[in-house]
Amino acid sequence: MSNMVELSIAKAINAGIRKAMQENDKVLVFGEDVARLGGVFRVTEGLLDEFGEKRIFNSPIAESGIVGTAIGLAMRGFRPIAEIQFDGFIYPAFDQIVSQLAKLTNRSEGFLQMPVVIRVPYGGGIGAVEHHSESPEAYFAHTAGLRVISPSNANDAYWMIQQAIKSPDPVMFFEPKRRYWQKGQVDLDQAPIDMHSAVTLRAGSDVTIATYGPMVVTALQAAEIAAQEGINIEVIDIRSMSPIDFGHIAESVKKTGRLIVTHEAGTFVSISSEIAARIAELCFYYLEAPVIRVGGFDVPYPAAKLEELYLPDADRLMEAVDRVLAY
């Protein structure tokens, strides 16, 4: 029988990191205020007391230095978990990530492995100030050599962080911060699937909605509303933005004939752009309508009092459902 517990997404990530640190003393955690404080969102709370200051420690406020330190530790055989405190703070580390971390294994012809996990709380919905609510995942999905994933529920959070830590390649682990306190059942004994596999959360026959991270809940809400109108929506959590499980999405679209892709990030040159293009190739003879994308507007993330107008909600998804069914 499975060993099930109820955890929030934040506590599930904490439990997953704890298990990884118990199993491998080469796993280290560091970042701004992650030790005694447990991070801004308390995701690493309690780990210092269990593992000590040599395995979980605070860094200076220097994101480039955080990632550079992680690269050096990986070269010495460690498996570092580096936290970037907020999504918009990652840009000072961008050069280290895309020019060094992503390329060192290839540059060394496989001699140097980079088992680095970079944890990034991302997305809006928490009423924060500038640079605290961004969705920069497409920058990193575009970069060869990086794996990019995002859990949407507690069970995935628990298992995907462990899978990321065990990966020989660098993993960008995007955590949907407005869902940190969302609770769910976690199976402590059995990992659901590989971290790069998409899953169907709700079966349907009329329209497919593909999404990830914080928008999964919104997509499921839209599917519930649509059901009251007799519209049967299939919801797919892609879970991984690089690589993307296009096969899973294509099988759904071959059944429904229609696809909506949604995320909080703007749609211009985005994850949804790539999915739309690839599905147009794979499902050309099955599509009954163009692929429709729903995301944030093409403006800088607004002030907190306006963010609900910026973020896609169930109403905007339902408007997209009406459009795709009109063809």
**Gap between the Cα atoms of 5 and 16, Å rounded:** 13
3-state secondary structure 51-89: HCCCCEEECCCCHHHHHHHHHHHHHCCCEEEEECCCHHH
Opening angle at CA 211, ends 171 and 84, nearest 5: 35
**Strand ranges across the sheet with 147-149:** 56-58, 27-31, 79-83, 117-122, 171-176, 147-149, 240-242
Written as six digits, the tokens of 14 are: 């904490």
**Gap between the Cα atoms of 141 and 146, Å rounded:** 7
Which residue among the candidates 131, 132, 196, 263 is catalytic per the annotation?
Answer: 132
Q: What does DSSP say about strands 171-176 and 199-202: parallel, antiparallel, or unpaired?
A: unpaired
The answer to whether 244 and 264 are in contact (CB under 8 A) is no
Written as six digits, the tokens of 91 are: 């840009």
Residue type at 284? F
Q: Is the previous residue joined to 136 through a cis bond, with omega within 30 degrees of 0?
A: no
Confirm whether 142 is a catalytic residue.
no
Q: Which residue has the tokens 């690269």?
A: 71
Written as six digits, the tokens of 165 are: 């830590």
**Which residues are identified as catalytic?**
132
